Amino acid sequence: MKQAAFLALLSHWRHRPLQLVTLILGITLATALWSGVQAINAEARASYARAASILEQNGLPQLLPRDGGSIPTAVFAKLRRAGWSVSPVIEGDYRFGPVRIRLIGVDPLTLPNEGPAFPISGSSEFVDFVHGGGQLVVSPATAVRLKDVAAMPLKVSGDIPDDAAFTDIGVADRLLNRRGALSRIVMAPEQRPDLPALETVAPELTRQSAGDRPDVARLTDSFHLNLTAFGFLAFVVGLFIVYSATGLAFEQRRATFRTLRSLGVSLRSLTAMLIIEITSFAFVSGLMGVVIGYFVASALLPGVAATLRGLYGASVPGALSLRPEWWLAGMAMAVAGTALSSVQSLWQVRRMPILTAAQPRAWARASATALQLQSLAGAILLGLAISMAWAGSGLASGFAVLGGLLLGSALLLPAFLSKSLQLAEGRSRKALTVWFWADTRLQLPGLSLALMALLLALAANIGVGTMVSSFRLTFLGWLDQRLAAELYVTARDEDEAARLRDWLPQHSNAVLPIWSIEGNILGDQLQIFGVADDSTYRDHWPLIGGTAGVWDRVAEGQGALVNEQLWRGKGVQPGQTITLPGEWPVAVVGVYSDYGNPRGQVIVGLDALVRHYPNVPKLRYGIRVDPAAAADLKRQIVQEFGLPGSNVVEQDSLKRQSRAVFEQTFAVTGALNVLTLAVAGFAMFASLLTLSGIRLPQLAPVWAMGLRRRDLALLEIARTLALWLATFVAAIPVGLALAWVLLAIVNVEAFGWKLPMTIFPADWLRLGAVALVAAVLSVLLPVRRLATVNPADLLRVFANER
Amino acid sequence: MNARFAAVALAALSTVALGPAKTDAQGFAGLGSNAQGFAVPERGFTLSFPKDHGPHSGFRIEWWYVTANLQAEGGRRFGAQWTLFRSALAPGEGQGWSTPQIWIGHAAVTTAERHYVAERLGRGGVGQAGIVADPFEAWIDDWQMKAIGPAGNDQLGRIDLRASGKDFSYRMTLTANGPVVLQGDQGYSVKSSSGQASYYYSQPFYEVQGTITLDGEPVTVTGKAWLDREWSSQPLASNQTGWDWFSLHLASGEKLMAFRLRDTGGGFVSANWISADGRTNPLSSQDVLLEPLRTAQVNGRDIPVAWRVRIPSKGLDVTTRPLNDNAWMNTYTPYWEGPISFEGSMSGEGYLEMTGY
């Protein structure tokens, strides 16, 4: 009996395959986007953790110089001779031709056993590593890039992150020209108990305990939060689809339920059957969703990797590995989401009196009270969002504002549409028009979820699109200002740099050294640049705040400029004094914008930089020259010095590269936008399909009064378009508000810079057109059904029994 | 899978090391590999001190090797080892971190119940490890062997020795009551019939006073110690797989150094009978009979821990017994090194080192 009853329930889906497809597709899409995004996040996080453990040995406590400079080798020897179990590290960026690599020099002889597994083993590998010309241990991808440019043996290891190379400390010392200046010292976690105190042996060092989170993970948090928000948005939209599909299926099976109950199936077993049914669907679709999610993630990951590299310098491999955490999370989300969206329908089944007329009603019709409550909730959320935007701080608060804004607007949408329809109805004179508006309003409760989904997708598109376009405009303008020199030259060593310094002035209008060191400023490892006193900077460098005579004071060595990130992140104000490494107090005289850089930065006068840090590498130069002569000069430099062409870069190609990085950065955002919109379009389709099935009772009387089925179909299209238009109009202010939140709140928190907002109405039109196509597509199938509905079906509405 | 494992390599390249008994054409542990670029010991070269107490960076391998037989007041016996190996990846000093000189320290304390071992690694050129000949100081990390005698005397006449590891540490003063002894032919010690050799001298006449701390408990000890100094570039023939080496303090005040290098054939035996006043009497294969009596399972290998040593020309016929069968140096290059005592025609104590098992 139970089996027969269950088969009877299931037979519904055989008769309505499209509904089945909708339901499964809904769960699948929702799960796919969600788990795809999760997969990307999981991969990236795993990669940070790997990088941190291998590159920074962050599982081990470390000793760092108090003044942010370097540690003399003698201090290391002193610690060892005092019994400390410590190991030295020399690291820095090194350029092999055009390829820039993070070089990490370690001493395998003293590296603590407790640290990360070291990628060499065996005696001959050890000798290769330590001895002779040295060896670079790199990832497979880095090995490919270095193959022709590094004149050193490469050893490939899967444990090493991209764009980094492990090497012996002796090799790093030589390549980076450190002369024994150590970057840091790592400590074995267990030390002898009777050691002399650090303050006595090496008072110039300070201890940093193990397990501090890697910088890059902290930096990229915002980016991943962003992705998660996108994934969640898509998931919610997908759940709307599931909600309408299950609602319809339950509604249409009311007769079956009644029959089964009358035949003696208990309410409990009926409910159990339905739960088993829906859970199985959830499992199957969830599984499909996770699989599709894997492919979505694989397709997006290279873009994400490019973004992370471009924005944060974080290295994430472009290939995805299967991780149980997001498989499980994806399945759990699929089941939980399905349960959430079908709980209302299940509840109705339980409450249904056994012998009630199995009369279908518009299944999700909300009462006027419900609409009012929903609007009230929406208004409260909007109010909260506004007050948080006003008073809140921090990235979490930024996202709370985003959430409140989107959800509040979505909840207010039905009320907004209802009011608009009432308004239109009031202005109509013809009976058919009045019926049209009234009937549209009647459908609103059934469509409102799909329309809310559409609103969210449209608003997200407008908001994110506005942000990206604003960013692009600002960034490109800023690039033009910032990359003022026509040529950028990098010498291979200090001797060559000295010869360049002699040679270049006679062949160009100005030579601008670009020299920098890294050091600890206000607790972070930051870059300090020196700039020459040149009109290039005075005229072009984009300052967003400063005191009078900024450039004079910088040139005199009296003042420093900080970038926007440092200004916002550490609250460094012009007029304030900061201490640079080596106990060098300097007054902050201005703030400059520095897009595309996640870290703080300081600029001081070139002479002052060299005076305080005589060992600063003097390899890079910007060259001012007549733009027409730039290519010639490049040829000359290459010939004269035998420099590889890649060491002399023209402004054009640098800008091109920067733009390419930028475009890649937002490629993922664009892809996610399109996917979200697609899901929203599908939600619309699912809702219209649902409604078309249950609306015959409302249409039959109109048909009976003489309206042709074709006209009914046309009115259906007009209705969809009207709703689409109203939703789109509502989406514009919501989208702009979203863009503002992204630019003025989230961006500042996430990246440390603020962007001017620019509005791009042409983009909205394009988006509107896409959404229009989606709306028309979604209504086509239901309309075709309506236009060809069998008159007998319409007549049956008037029969007693249906 | 660890760097340290690799570092063993060093030890392997360098010294005492005994890799697996199966060896290829480089002898065991690479010690038979050829000496390209490195200096080679030459017969007739005159060692001069204190200069030759210091390192010889032109040679591939070198060691400063102290073993001590000690006793606490109640009669409890101990063995102690302090070794610093130098292993060069290339000849010469090099600069700073780029030096090819690798240093390896081994320290051990042996009791009848337990064998304590520690190992330290470091490279030369940066101050972490090294040797200064005058005033003599050898160190790696906080381990050291340092001259404390009055300046001008023999640098090794009186030295301070200290080392520590997990659960143990020691500090002792070694005072020589006899001269430095040149092994082989005036310090030129032949290691195979095909002519491999090393420079080798010893100071076997140390009296020891010091403190050993085991698991936090200090014990005052006295006894005898023996210092070996040896350097070379290719000390073994390519078919030699390991060695058994004895240093014996005879109750008469005489000393005996004897070793057997094992190879695919009959092996190569050499010894030196040292009189109580330091005169040497080199002995050859015909004079010395070394015969394993008992093997023990140590770390999964069969190690001959008891021996019969006979030198008929000196009337010596003794049986040696280890203080602890398990004197296994579980270092990156593992070997057996422990205190022994012997009885028979004469009695006394000493040290036994066995490599390549």
More confident residue, A446 or A372: A372
CB contact under 8 A, B127 and A81: yes
Closest chain A C-alpha to B140 CA, distance in angstroms: 7
The residues, any chain, with a CB within 8 Å of residue A184's CB and separated by 6 or more, are: A62, A63, A64, A71, A88, A89, A91
B329 compared with A123, residue with greater pLDDT:
B329
CA distance to partner chain A, nearest, from residue B105 (Å)? 12
Give the pLDDT confidence score for residue A359 in this predicted structure. Answer: 46
What is the per-residue burial (b if ≥16 Cβ within 10 Å, else e) of A335-352? bebbeebbeebbeebeeb
Predicted pLDDT of residue B62: 94
Q: Answer positive or negative: Cα dihedral of A156, A157, A158, A160.
A: negative
**What digits encode the pLDDT tens for the residues A554-581?**
888 888 998 887 888 778 888 888 888 8
Q: What is the ipTM of this complex?
A: 0.88
pLDDT on residue A629:
86
Of all residues in chain B, the one with the smallest CA distance to A133 is: B98
- Positive or negative, the CA dihedral A547, A549, A551, A554 is negative
A306 within domain boundaries: yes
| Least CB–CB distance from A111: residue in B3, B10, B97 | B3
| Confidence check: pLDDT of B13 > 60 | no
Q: How many domains does chain B have?
A: 1
Considering the domain architecture, whether residues A132 and A229 belong to the same structural domain is answered as no
Q: Is any Cβ of chain A less than 8 angstroms from the Cβ of B88?
A: no
The answer to whether residues A238 and A277 belong to one domain is yes
* Interface contact A109-B122, CB threshold 8 A: yes
Nearest CA in chain A to B124: A77
pLDDT value of residue B303: 94
Segment A618-641, tens digit of pLDDT: 888 888 888 888 888 888 888 888
Is the minimum CB–CB distance between A86 and chain B shorter than 8 Å? Answer: no
- Say if residue A718's pLDDT is above 50: yes
pLDDT of B11 > 60? The answer is no
CA–CA dist A149, A37 (Å, integer): 36
Is A620 part of the contact surface with chain B (CB cutoff 8 Å)? no
Phi and psi (nearest 5°) for B45? -70, 135
Confidence category of residue A693, pLDDT binned at 50, 70, 90: low
On whether both A42 and A67 belong to a single domain, the answer is no
Chain A residues with CB inside 8 Å of B127's CB?
73-74, 76-78, 81
* Strand pairing category for A164-168 and B129-133: unpaired
Per-residue tokens: A752: 């440390």
Task: Verify whether the Cβ–Cβ distance A123 to B10 is below 8 Å.
Answer: yes
Residue A82 Cα, gap to closest chain B Cα (Å): 6
pLDDT band for position B26 (50/70/90)? very low
CB B59 within 8 A of CB B65: no
- Angstrom distance (rounded) from CA A155 to CA A178: 24
Last residue within a domain, chosen from A624, A658, A693: A624
Indicate the residue of A81, A126, A131 with minimum beta-carbon distance to B142. A81
Mean per-residue pLDDT for A108-124?
Answer: 70
DSSP assigned state of B312: G
Q: A-chain residues within 8 Å CB-CB of B334?
A: none
With an 8 Å Cβ cutoff, are A123 and B1 in contact?
Answer: no
A193 and A229, same domain (yes or no): no
By the 8 A CB rule, do A445 and A372 touch?
Answer: no
The reply to whether A320 falls in a domain is yes
Yes or no, beta carbons of A109 and B96 under 8 Å apart? no
- List chain B residues with CB under 8 Å of A117: 1-2
Look at A537 and B75; give whichever has higher pLDDT: B75
Interchain contact, B128 vs A122, CB within 8 Å: no
Which of B:28-47 have CB within 8 Å of A?
Answer: 30
Residue of B14, B60, B98 to mutate, testing the A interface (most A Cβ within 10 Å of its Cβ): B98
Interface test with B, best of A107, A109, A168 (most B CBs within 10 A): A109
Q: Which residue has the higher pLDDT, B221 or A171?
A: B221
CB of B102 less than 8 A from some CB of A? yes
Q: Which chain A residues touch B122 with a CB distance below 8 Å?
A: 80, 109-110
Q: Do B128 and A83 touch (CB under 8 A)?
A: no
Q: Indicate yes or no: CB of A108 within 8 angstroms of CB of B6.
A: yes
Residue that wins the pLDDT comparison between A369 and A551: A551
Nearest-angstrom CA–CA distance, B266 and A258: 101
pLDDT band with cut points at 50, 70 and 90 for residue A701: confident
In the predicted structure, residue B56 carries a pLDDT above the cut 90: yes
Average pLDDT rounded to a whole number, residues A246-262: 78
Residue A731 maps to a domain? no
Among A168, A185, A213, the domain-final residue is: A213
A446 located within any domain: no
Task: Return the half-sphere exposure (C-beta side, CA atoms, 13 A cut-off) of residue B158.
Answer: 7
The verdict on A179 touching B (C-beta cutoff 8 Å) is yes
Question: What stretch of H or E contains A23?
Answer: helix A17-55
CB contact under 8 A, A76 and B2: no
Residue for token pair 């109640």: B74
Query: Of the spans A436-450, A585-599, B242-256, which averages the highest pLDDT?
Result: B242-256
Instruction: Report CA Rg, chain A.
Output: 33
DSSP code at position A646: G
* Minimal CA separation from B179 to chain A, in Å: 31
Domain boundary among A307, A336, A360: A360
**pLDDT given at position B27:** 43
Higher pLDDT, A307 or A201: A201
The reply to whether B3 touches chain A by the CB within 8 Å rule is yes
In tens, the pLDDT along A54-97 reads 555 556 788 888 766 788 999 999 999 999 999 999 988 888 87
Whether residue A3 is found in the same domain as residue A147:
no
To the nearest whole Å, the CA of B219 is away from the closest chain A CA by 18
A564: in domain = yes
- Residue A96 shares a structural domain with residue A241: no
* Chain B nearest-CA residue for A169: B97
Residue B127 to residues A531, A801, B8, B101, Cα–Cα distance (Å) = 38, 100, 21, 12
Over residues A184-195, mean pLDDT: 85
How far apart CA A68 and CA A392 sit, in angstroms, is: 34
B162 — contact with chain A (CB < 8 Å)? no
User: Is A344 near chain B, with CB under 8 Å?
Assistant: no
- Does the beta-carbon distance from B128 to A76 stay under 8 Å? yes
A contact test, residue of B8, B10, B87, B128 with most A CBs within 10 A: B128
- Alpha-carbon dihedral of residues A635, A639, A642, A646, nearest 10 degrees? 10
List all residues 6 or more positions away from A401 whose beta carbon is below 8 Å from its beta carbon.
A385, A388, A389, A392, A741, A745
CA distance A498 to chain B (A): 25
Picking from B126, B132, B142 by the largest number of A CB atoms within 10 A of its own CB, the best residue to mutate is B126
The answer, yes or no, to whether residue B29 has pLDDT greater than 60, is no
pLDDT at A748 over 90: no
> What is the rounded average pLDDT for all residues in chain A?
79
Q: Are strands A71-72 and B328-329 parallel, antiparallel or unpaired?
A: unpaired
Residues A177 and A71 in one domain: yes
pLDDT at B240: 83
- Judge whether residue B75 has pLDDT over 60: yes
Q: Residue B194 — pLDDT band, cuts 50, 70, 90?
A: confident
Lowest mean pLDDT among A468-477, A574-583, B348-357: A468-477
Task: Report the alpha-carbon distance of residue A654 to residue A649 in Å, rounded.
Answer: 7
Is a pLDDT exceeding 50 seen at residue B7?
Answer: no
Whether residues A111 and B4 touch (CB distance < 8 A) is answered with yes
Find, among A338, A246, A341, A339, the residue nearest to A288 by Cα: A338
Asked whether the predicted pLDDT for residue B293 surpasses 70, the reply is: yes
Q: How close A92 comes to chain B (CA, Å)?
A: 16
Average pLDDT for B250-269? 91
Nearest to B158 by CA among B172, B141, B170: B172
**What is the CB neighbour count within 10 angstroms for residue A264?**
9
Per-residue pLDDT, averaged over A106-127, amounts to 72
What is the per-residue pLDDT for A350?
76
Supply the pLDDT for residue A755. 74
In a domain, A508, yes or no: yes
Higher per-residue pLDDT: A521 or B19: A521
Whole-angstrom Cα distance, residue A750 to residue A476? 20
pLDDT of residue B3: 30
Assign 3-class secondary structure to A438-497: HHHHHHHHHHHHHHHHHHHHHHHHHHHHHHHHHHHHHHHHHHHHHCCCCEEEECCCHHHH
Range of A584's domain? 487-624
Average pLDDT over residues B63-76: 95
Beta strands (DSSP E) in B177-286 are 181-182, 188-190, 197-214, 217-232, 240-250, 255-263, 268-274, 280-283
How many whole angstroms from its chain centre is CA A432? 49
Q: Name the more confident of A50 and A348.
A: A348
Tally A–B CB contacts below 8 A: 105
* The pLDDT value given to residue B214: 95
Which residues does chain A have within 8 Å of residue B164's beta carbon, measured at their own beta carbons?
Answer: 83, 192
Number of domains forming the structure of chain A: 3
Higher confidence at residue A111 or residue A597?
A111
Per-position DSSP letters for B122-145, written without gaps between them: EETTSSSEEEEETTEEEEETTEEE
Instruction: Tell if the CB–CB gap between A170 and B3 is shorter than 8 Å.
Output: no
**Are the C-beta atoms of B288 and B271 separated by less than 8 Å?**
yes
Measured between alpha carbons, how far is residue A550 from residues A289, A608, B339 in Å?
Answer: 57, 15, 77
Residue environment code for A483-497, b if the CB has 16+ CB neighbours within 10 A, otherwise e: bbbbbbbbbeeeebb
| Mean pLDDT, range B76-83, rounded to an integer | 96
Pairing of strands B197-214, B188-190: antiparallel
Mean pLDDT of A194-209: 83
Q: What is the mean pLDDT of residues A795-799?
A: 75
**B99 CB near a chain A CB, below 8 Å?**
yes
Please name the member of A81, A122, A127 whose beta carbon is closest to the beta carbon of B139.
A81
A728 and chain B: CB distance < 8 Å anywhere?
A: no
Are A150 and A285 in a shared domain? no
pLDDT digits (tens, 9 = 90+) for A12-55: 888 878 778 878 887 887 788 778 877 777 777 776 666 656 55
| Containing structural domain, residue B294 | 3-354
A145 and A238 share a domain?
Answer: no
Distance from CA of A56 to the nearest CA of B (A): 16
Looking at the structure, do residues A46 and A97 belong to the same domain, yes or no? no
Closest-CA residue in chain B for A190? Answer: B166
Contact of A436 with A718, CB cutoff 8 Å = yes
Q: Write down the pLDDT at residue A130.
A: 80
* CATH code (residue B73): 2.40.370.10
A535 CB burial (10 A radius; 0-12, 13-18, 19+): exposed
Please give the residue of chain A at the shortest CA–CA distance from B123: A109
**Which amino acid is it at A347?**
W
Set of chain A residues whose Cβ sits within 8 Å of the Cβ of B102: 109, 130
What is the spatial distance between Cα A469 and Cα A475, in angstroms, rounded to a whole number? 10
